[in-house]
Amino acid sequence: MLHRWEQLTFLHWSFEPAVVQRLLPGWLAVETFEDRAWVGLVPFFMRVSTPTDRGLPWAANFCETNVRTYVCDGEGRNGIWFFSLDAARLGAVIAARATYRLPYFWSDMELDAHSGSIRYDCRRRWPGPRGAVSRAELRLRDPYQPSELSERDHYLTARWTMFTSSGERRRFARARHEPWVLQRADVVDLHDELIPAAGLPAPTDAPIVHHSAGVAVRIGRPVRYA
């Protein structure tokens, strides 16, 4: 599939690795940076089409918010493990659950972007925990120059593989896109229940924030492990 991820914000917190590892399948190991595991809350707007540039009316143009961490498999691949993905289009939720075995949830969502600010709202509908909400309002600031980005900035944002599992079936899929053009952002308001709904402690400190106007993405087919 071809995606366009627009008005995307990364909000990241660090955790003790053991706290995150207990929620992962046994074939994946939590990946650390500076001896900490990292969990991201990532809201954005999604556009979906096929390689022939046909839109998918049942699964295109919707808001999404995912809760994720970073992991390695037994073969040395590193990438993303999604604890949850909330989307505002039911057809996309059903399709992603069936094909990629991703833990998608159907939610009421809104994204309101103005010059210099952006707001995301999410309320989960199905499946449970019904009613979990996430709200974030940010003030956007100046862009990073490539030379200003640190190793940690790249660690938190440059990810090209995702892992999924269903029972004994293990899969991975790859994504390709141009490097992010990142900019700074400040949190104006933040209330999130999606991270606790995934089984993690609610963060109490301020997140590390990156924002991007967006990228075009090519998503590969899910590949089964031998």
pLDDT at residue 54 in the model = 60
pLDDT-derived band at 204, boundaries 50, 70, 90: very high
User: What pLDDT, in 10s, does the model give residues 157-200?
Assistant: 999 999 999 888 999 999 999 999 999 999 999 999 999 999 99
Please determine, for residue 29, whether its predicted confidence score (pLDDT) is greater than 90: yes
**149-153 average pLDDT score:** 98
Q: What is the pTM of this model?
A: 0.95
Of 44, 53, 50, the closest CA to residue 7 belongs to 44
pLDDT above 90 covers a percentage of the chain that reads 85
**122-143 average pLDDT score:** 94
Please determine, for residue 211, whether its predicted confidence score (pLDDT) is greater than 90: yes
pLDDT-derived band at 52, boundaries 50, 70, 90: low
Please determine, for residue 64, whether its predicted confidence score (pLDDT) is greater than 60: yes
**33-54 average pLDDT score:** 89
pLDDT at residue 199 in the model = 97
pLDDT at residue 1 in the model = 81
pLDDT at residue 56 in the model = 59
Residue listed under structure tokens 């229940």: 193
State the CATH number of the domain containing residue 108. 2.40.400.10
pLDDT at residue 106 in the model = 96
Average pLDDT, the chain: 94
Of 137, 112, 151, 117, the closest CA to residue 189 belongs to 137
Please determine, for residue 55, whether its predicted confidence score (pLDDT) is greater than 60: no
**201-209 average pLDDT score:** 97
Q: How many domains does the chain contain in total?
A: 1
**203-218 average pLDDT score:** 97
Q: Write out the residue range of the structural domain in which residue 150 sits.
A: 2-224
Of 1, 3, 8, 18, the closest CA to residue 136 belongs to 8
pLDDT at residue 53 in the model = 61
User: What pLDDT, in 10s, does the model give residues 74-98?
Assistant: 999 999 999 999 999 998 899 889 8
* DSSP secondary structure string for all residues of the chain: -EEEEEEEEEEEEEE-HHHHHTTS-TTEEE--BTTBEEEEEEEEEEEEE-TT--B-TTS-SEEEEEEEEEEEETTS-EEEEEEEEEES-HHHHHHHHHHT---EEEEEEEEEEETTEEEEEEEEEESSSTT-EEEEEEEEEEEPPGGG--HHHHHHH---EEEEEETTEEEEEEEEEPPP-EEEEEEEEEEE-HHHHTTPPPP-SPPEEEEEEEEEEEEPPPEE--
